[in-house]
């Protein structure tokens, strides 16, 4: 049986700057962390817009995934989006706070319990290598979120994340708030180049916290 992580590994290799937000969206937040939409509303919008797949990546929480999956599975018909497991975990990398996205993992894996309790991990559990290892132990993939939004530049953080076992980077990301959503061209080019150089997977997502999954805010 093909796992979610195996499916996503292949899917992430096909994504481009236009894959989000109308085909896929792998960075969404709900009221289960700091978003404004319920998981059901996220799932409903995903179906209205005809997405093929999406992931709710609430901060240190998994309840949104379970609720969205239940909603989608109860919807009549077969033309429904795939709901992938997702989470966003705060971590320390080169003494810098970063966010690591997890995908395709077993949501019941005991190793993830301490990362899904509603608050950021502390101490050794917050180290990027520990977070990445936990996601791998749970059968998932680890992705460095929005690599150009941190105190240190992507040119430093991405190689450091690679050395700690990261699987990929969020290449296609909107660093401003334009409508319609657009992956920032210059930053996309930089992150894509680094991803190719280090043979990384590349993901896309709106990072929605507001009322519309098609935009970032």
Taking only the tens place, the pLDDT of each residue in 132-189 is 999 999 999 999 999 999 999 999 999 999 999 999 999 999 998 888 999 999 999 9
Reply yes or no on whether the pLDDT at 51 is more than 80. yes
Question: What CA–CA distance (Å, rounded) separates 84 from 54?
Answer: 6
Give the pLDDT confidence score for residue 71 in this predicted structure.
97
State the average pLDDT over residues 191-197.
98
Would you say residue 74 has pLDDT above 90?
yes
Domain boundaries of the chain, sorted by first residue:
4-204
Which position has the token pair 């969205």?
68
Q: Which residue do the tokens 């059968």 mark? A: 139
CA distance 83 to 104: 10
As a whole number of angstroms, the distance between CA 108 and CA 63 comes to 11
Tokens of 131: 């977070």
Alpha carbon dihedral 55, 56, 61, 63, in 10-degree steps, equals: -100
pLDDT for position 178: 83
For residue 176, what pLDDT is reported? 86
What's the pLDDT band for 79 if we cut at 50, 70, 90? confident
CATH architecture of residue range(s) 4-204: Alpha-Beta Barrel (3.20)
- Give the pLDDT band of residue 217 (cuts 50, 70, 90): confident
The arithmetic mean of pLDDT across residues 83-106, rounded, is 98
**pLDDT value of residue 135:** 98
Between CA 217 and CA 213 the distance in angstroms is 9
pLDDT at 77: 78
Determine if the pTM surpasses 0.95.
yes
pLDDT at 15 over 80: yes
Give the pLDDT band of residue 113 (cuts 50, 70, 90).
very high
């Amino acid at each position: 049986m093909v796992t979610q992580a195996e499916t996503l590994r292949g899917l992430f290799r096909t994504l481009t700057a236009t894959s989000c937000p109308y085909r896929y969206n792998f960075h969404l937040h709900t009221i289960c962390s700091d978003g404004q939409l319920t998981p059901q509303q996220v799932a409903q919008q995903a179906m209205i817009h005809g997405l093929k797949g999406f992931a709710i990546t609430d901060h240190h929480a998994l309840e949104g995934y379970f609720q969205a999956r239940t909603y989608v599975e109860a919807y009549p018909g077969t033309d429904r989006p795939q709901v992938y497991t997702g989470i966003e975990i705060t971590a320390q990398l080169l003494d810098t706070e970063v966010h690591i996205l997890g995908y395709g993992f077993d949501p019941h894996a005991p190793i993830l319990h301490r990362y899904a309790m509603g608050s950021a991990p502390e101490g050794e559990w917050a180290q990027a290598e520990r977070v990445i290892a936990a996601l791998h132990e749970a059968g998932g993939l680890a992705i460095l979120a929005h690599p150009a939004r941190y105190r240190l530049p992507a040119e430093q953080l991405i190689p450091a994340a690679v050395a700690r076992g990261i699987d990929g980077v969020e290449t296609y990301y909107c660093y401003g708030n334009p409508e319609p959503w657009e992956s920032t061209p210059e930053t996309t080019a930089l992150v894509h180049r680094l991803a190719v150089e280090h043979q990384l997977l590349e993901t896309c997502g709106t990072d929605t916290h507001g009322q519309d999954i098609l935009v970032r805010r």
